[in-house]
A = this chain, B = another copy of it.
Amino acid sequence: MHQFLRVGARAANQLRAVKIQRGYTMHAEGSVLIEFGNTKVLCTASVEEKVPAHKKGSGQGWVTAEYGMLPRATHSRNEREAARGKQSGRTQEIQRLIGRALRSVFDLSLLGERTIHLDCDVLQADGGTRTAAITGAFVAAQDAVTQLLMQGKLQLSPIRDHVAAISVGIVDGTPLLDLEYTEDSACDTDMNVVMTGAGQFVEVQGTAEGAAFSRREMDALLALAEQGISDLVALQKISLLNK
């Protein structure tokens, strides 16, 4: 079978170079710059001592996310959403996904009536911004929770497991892990997968951009994703060992 050639001789099942830099900015309770190759996302976790209306009086906390992209994070400049006066459908879809992904590993009762805001801002985009955002936001959230534990505001961690995400797709018939921008533009099928450290699925979002895909192709993609996410969780753990 013809094999699609990746930049830098990257193997089909190989992640791009992943870097996780904690404490990237100084004010946030958690602040992580995560890089998947040229994709760079700044993920901050901010603790707020109150909850939105639908959680008031419930004894439970809340975890929510917002996503943004600097106007020139991309090849050509995008209009600033604040200037246009509204967030695009794409932005809202991504930030809802990040929020659900993070909440899937939180025991909101253990968090108490407080909110963790995860802000994921793309400084530079080269494909996979939402999966980098989820993977980095987990580390930022962990740092914020550690601080709450050390301050005695929490007795037990509300975080039950790791969560990470990766994209997979089929380009020219080849299933590939962790698509960069040129691959993403060329692919027929694009799938974002979110999984826990225990290897369970949290989200699977597969889309046929060109031709529809078969069950066999989906199985191949899911297998790639399982392996990639397992690698990412290991990298999260290494990063969190420091300091």
Interface residues of A (CB under 8 A from B): 25-28, 31, 38, 40, 42, 44, 46, 48, 66, 68, 70-77, 80-83, 85-87, 89-93, 95-96, 100, 104, 117, 119, 121, 123-125, 191, 195-196, 198, 200-208, 211-215, 218, 222, 226
The answer to whether A201 and B214 have CB atoms under 8 Å apart is yes
The answer to whether A89 and B93 have CB atoms under 8 Å apart is yes
Complex Cα gap A81–B66 (Å): 11
The answer to whether A25 and B124 have CB atoms under 8 Å apart is yes
Set of chain B residues within 8 Å of A48, measured between Cβ atoms:
77
Set of chain B residues within 8 Å of A66, measured between Cβ atoms:
71, 80, 83
Set of chain B residues within 8 Å of A215, measured between Cβ atoms:
201, 222, 226
Which residue of B is nearest A189, CB measured? B201
Complex Cα gap A143–B180 (Å): 27
Complex Cα gap A4–B190 (Å): 34
Which residue of B is nearest A85, CB measured? B85
Chain A contact residues: over half helix, strand or loop, or mixed?
mixed
Complex Cα gap A48–B75 (Å): 12
Set of chain B residues within 8 Å of A104, measured between Cβ atoms:
208, 212
The answer to whether A93 and B91 have CB atoms under 8 Å apart is no
The answer to whether B213 and A203 have CB atoms under 8 Å apart is no
The answer to whether B93 and A27 have CB atoms under 8 Å apart is no
- Cβ contact of A200, chosen from B73, B77, B81, B212, cutoff 8 A: B212
Complex Cα gap A175–B76 (Å): 44
Which residue of B is nearest A140, CB measured? B72
Which residue of B is nearest A163, CB measured? B212
- Closest beta carbon of chain B to A99's beta carbon, Å: 10
- Cβ contact of A124, chosen from B27, B46, B86, B198, cutoff 8 A: B27
Which residue of B is nearest A207, CB measured? B203
